[in-house]
């Protein structure tokens, strides 16, 4: 489960994602995937590549998995579509992204 993703980080090419700040993106990515299952960690680059603002999407997703309870992270791991929806929100609206981070109970709805 979480914590078993070090191989994912080293094998992932984030170069095909149009990050404005690739160095920060790499740090945020490493931090985020360290809390995720290998399956979700492996899907994360493709989800970010679809985002209109991958920098914000990744930064907010990292905050979500860092600040949320372990239960929320397990929920994201079990239901990858929730992670996809969160990244969509994060990439489109910082305001709505902050709302989701502050109200993770919305993920249970």
Summarize pLDDT for 52-74 with one digit per residue, the tens: 999 999 999 999 999 999 999 99
CB atoms within 10 A of CB 64: 23
Residue given tokens 């489109």 in the structure block = 92
Terminal C-alpha separation, the chain: 24
Q: Say what the pLDDT of residue 14 is.
A: 87
Average pLDDT, the chain: 90
Give pLDDT tens digits for 25-46.
999 999 999 999 999 999 999 9
Question: Confidence band (pLDDT; 50, 70, 90) for 11?
Answer: low
What are the domain boundaries of the chain? Answer: 21-108
d(CA 52, CA 37): 25
Least reliable range by pLDDT among 7-11, 59-63, 98-102: 7-11
Residues belonging to the chain: 109
Burial class (CB in 10 A: 0-12, 13-18, 19+), 105: exposed
């Amino acid at each position: 489960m979480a914590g078993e993703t070090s191989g994912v980080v080293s094998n992932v090419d984030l170069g095909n994602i149009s990050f404005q700040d690739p160095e920060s993106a790499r740090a945020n990515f490493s931090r985020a995937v360290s809390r995720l299952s290998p399956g979700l960690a492996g899907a994360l680059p493709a989800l970010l590549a679809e985002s209109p603002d991958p920098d914000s999407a990744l930064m907010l997703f990292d905050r979500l998995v860092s600040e949320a309870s372990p239960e929320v992270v397990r929920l994201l791991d079990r239901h990858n579509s929730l992670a996809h929806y969160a990244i969509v929100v994060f990439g489109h609206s910082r305001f709505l992204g902050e709302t989701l981070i502050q109200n993770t109970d919305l993920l249970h709805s």
